[in-house]
Amino acid sequence: MAGKTFIYVGAEADGLYRKESGDGQWEKLAKGMPPAPQVRAIAIHPSEPKTVFVGTQRGVFRSKDGGDNFKRMNMAEGRTVWSLKFNPSDPNTMFLGTEGSEVFKSTDRGENWAHLATISNPGQHQMAFAMRILGIAIEPGNTDQMYAALEVGGAAQSSDGGKNWTIVNKNFAGDVDLLDLHGVAMGGPGSTTAFISNRVGTWRTTDHGQNWQNLNFDQFSEIRYSRGVEVDPNNSNTLYACVGMNFGSEEGGVLQTTDGGDTWHRFDKGVSPTSTTFGIAINEVDPSQVYFCTRKGQVFGTHDSGASWKEHVLPEMAANVKAVACISV
């Protein structure tokens, strides 16, 4: 039985917020954080619900009291963190991805971080920013198998725990819409299936990225530009995908599949997102609780698997919202 559920939201403008899902008000969490924090990634320890990590433009910060106080962890200066991931078989081990496509690893509960690899892709499309790792996924049954989602760089795969990476873009090469990856997710225990998201939808691989299958969002939805993707922790066949018309669109939503990606339907029925949906979070204690956030700051939550929804209105200062997380304590 889930207790109180807390929601965390990270934004590029105005930092990190927390709210109790009931009648609570949003609290800005700033103690120990850098000035003007830009929060693009949030990760909550799987067995310690008050231990919260956030990725910022000044590295990674950790709270041990649910966000009341933060402390910067030990890692090289000058790194902007875009993704955080716990090792599913050892939560003392974590990985993060940066702007500049660097992978860092911690083996001491996030206290110290060592550079593990820099992923390069000569075929990436040149943008006004360095290639970013927007997502990291780890195969539950074999944690040496990892994936990274590279913004405008496609997919990368590692078979040695992140030390070495191979670009696996057989189905994407030369097409910026396909190479512009925004998220990556793995199935649950026993699954070897990985999912990635890009400008045209969500794709699936069952052979470590050697082949990617387009899951054909256009057959099920008019909006298919895809951002965050998450798999239900208790059901590998249930996947959620954040969608919009494009990066800056005034329409968004969430698609759900319950058959591993073969068919999709709108999950966010009854609500009206007014910008592209960027992040989605599933409560690991109670997966019937799902929250998603839009770029312009709307946050919606359900505690009954989408049958009903509640909007949690963020302060106007929170803009360019990038991440959401939730946990019951």
Query: What is this structure's pTM?
Result: 0.96
Q: What is the pLDDT of residue 44?
A: 98
Compute how many other C-beta atoms are within 10 angstroms of the C-beta atom of residue 79.
22
pLDDT at 251 over 90: yes
Q: What is the mean pLDDT of the chain?
A: 95
Please tell me whether residue 263 adopts helix, strand or coil conformation. Answer: coil
Contacts of 140 (CB under 8 A, 6+ apart): 88, 89, 186, 187, 188, 189, 190, 191
Kindly state the DSSP code that residue 91 receives in the 8-state scheme. E
Residue whose C-alpha is closest to residue 83's, from 161, 191, 10: 10
Q: What is the pLDDT of residue 81?
A: 98
Express each pLDDT in 183-192 by its tens digit.
Answer: 999 988 889 9
pLDDT at 329 over 80: yes
Q: Which long-range contacts (CB under 8 A, 24 or more apart) does 154-162 make?
A: 154/121, 154/123, 154/124, 154/178, 154/179, 154/181, 155/181, 155/184, 155/196, 155/209, 155/212, 156/119, 156/121, 157/208, 157/209, 158/117, 159/208, 162/95, 162/103, 162/105, 162/116, 162/117
**Which residues, in sequence order, are bridge partners of residue 269?**
none
In words, the CATH class of domain 5-328 is mainly beta
pLDDT confidence tier of residue 122, bands split at 50, 70 and 90:
confident
Please tell me whether residue 314 adopts helix, strand or coil conformation. Answer: coil
Tell me the average pLDDT across 226-255: 95
- How far apart are the C-alpha atoms of 151 and 318, rounded to whole Å? 23
Angle at 226 between CA 225 and CA 228, to 5 degrees: 155
Domain boundaries, the chain: 5-328
- How far apart are the C-alpha atoms of 148 and 103, rounded to whole Å? 9
Q: What is the pLDDT of residue 3?
A: 82
Q: What is the pLDDT of residue 119?
A: 97
Tell me the average pLDDT across 260-287: 96
Express each pLDDT in 210-234 by its tens digit.
Answer: 999 999 998 999 899 999 999 999 8
Alpha-carbon distances of 33 from 16, 68, 176, rounded to whole Å: 9, 10, 35
Tell me the average pLDDT across 247-276: 96
- How far apart are the C-alpha atoms of 205 and 185, rounded to whole Å? 11
Express each pLDDT in 7-65 by its tens digit.
Answer: 999 999 999 999 999 878 999 999 999 999 999 999 999 999 999 999 999 999 999 99
